[in-house]
A and B are shown apart, each in its own frame.
Chain A
């Protein structure tokens, strides 16, 4: 089958899978907790509310706020990650010295940093979302970019020096290393885009640094037992993640057609 046929089939299968999943949740709700006052909404209710939600003013505003937080955090993470990677790979020993630190930091769930930054910045500061997203995301970029630099094809680099008759490290860096590392960086960007959507919405849900993001809306609607809207917004979050990832793929596949 052709790629677009598979894509269209995938887009038809997607709501069916979600419908089955929601139906299963409703079924579990009935079987395990039949005396519950609040019933899990029907699949039809969720989907019709989803269509209403995507044109709802509050939801659109929340999407804007969440996307703003995601984009700012991602951009700062890329900048910080690349800068740290260049610093670490400037010297072989430096990378070895800091490798355990990077590995340890990336193993700590970001939510564990909440108490510290809540204390420093205050719970309502929008910076708390950015900082808590930037910490894990920039580490992902550091890991990817340092891998790209250290795993660079040395023979090709040597060939470049023979071609250019120039052994200058900075010259070869801008002419060769940047292109060698780009696929690693792009793969890191794809990961952190999905990851930052998750972290930002979870922090919003915890009422950290934002009052009107998608995560906040989920929390508010849960307080009101409006489960139709809760799941509509969750679908929207998933859809944003999908669209962002697809857009990045399209942009980079056009410009980065190798490896």
Chain B
């Protein structure tokens, strides 16, 4: 089944009949996956640990070699066109995103230096970003001199500093306290909505998925996408600015209930 969100923009991620099997495994980790994420929309992918969520992100970013099926970005197969696009893949561990031998500022300037697009305007935008994530007084520090929460902020800033067209989030907010989590949620959703970033978010947190996503899908233990999906009206996000208000509005509460029920049924637990 292919889920298509209503958006007429040109940039999108199309995943068609993708299957993947790890060497030495008898069962497929991903089984005939079909997904379509148009530009500017956010899709949340749910699934138990080991169900193949991160594998899918690794396939989209060509970290893993595609075995069968097709993944295209904006209509171009990833093997041909991945280098054309600004893809950002923010992982759970900040250490995977930041370079310990570079200061906070240099970590953020690194992509621009690599692409030779570093100028005064870039430095200004980086300084603005540092202010937004409240790390402006830490810009000369090294990552190991920051707290875990600050490292998370830095890794998110690293993932956003070069204005990605596509954002892949892999359990980014796990293991951080609620106030910081809400602060980062606001910041990130604001960026996604303002810059119309096509986003695929992997999470185990129902609230997080409901807060970010325009649609939520569930990965089954067999590695396929479950038939039911949970679209969320974009207007709701504009209507409720406060997280608590948004998450407690009737539509979201109902969606959450039905999401939890479906998840329970798929994974057979009470």
Q: Is B178 an interface residue (CB 8 A)?
A: no
Interface of B is mostly: mixed
CB-based contact B99/A162 at 8 Å: no
B88, B96, B101, B115: the one contacting A153 at CB < 8 Å is B96
CB distance from B148 to the nearest CB of A (A): 16
Among A156, A164, A176, which residue has its beta carbon within 8 angstroms of that of B115?
A164
A-side interface residues, number (CB < 8 Å): 19
Is B149 engaged at the interface, CB distance under 8 Å to the other chain?
no
CB neighbours (8 Å) of A159 from chain B are: 89, 91, 96-97
* Cβ contacts under 8 Å, A156 to chain B: 95-97, 99
Question: Least Cβ distance of A163 to chain B in Å?
Answer: 4
Is A179 interfacial (CB-CB < 8 Å)? yes
Query: Is B96 a contact partner of A164 (Cβ separation < 8 A)?
Result: no
Question: Could you tell me if B96 and A259 are in contact, using CB atoms closer than 8 angstroms?
Answer: no
Contact yes or no, B144 A258, CB < 8 A: yes
Q: Are B142 and A257 in contact (CB under 8 A)?
A: yes
Q: Is A169 an interface residue (CB 8 A)?
A: no
Chain A neighbourhood of B101, CB < 8 A: 179, 182, 256-258
A179-B63 CB under 8 A given contacts A155-B93, A163-B110, A257-B142? no
For A259, the chain B residues whose CB sits under 8 A away are 100, 144
Rounded to whole angstroms, the CA-CA distance of A179 and B102 in the bound complex is 10
List B59-101 residues whose CB lies under 8 Å from chain A: 61, 63, 82-84, 87-89, 91, 93, 95-97, 99-101
A5 at the interface (CB under 8 A from B): no
Other than the known A158-B89, A257-B142, what 12 A-B pairs have Cβ atoms closer than 8 Å? A153-B96, A155-B91, A156-B99, A159-B89, A159-B96, A162-B61, A162-B88, A164-B111, A164-B114, A165-B115, A166-B83, A258-B144
Which A-B residue pairs are the 4 nearest by beta carbons?
A: A155-B96, A258-B100, A164-B114, A165-B83
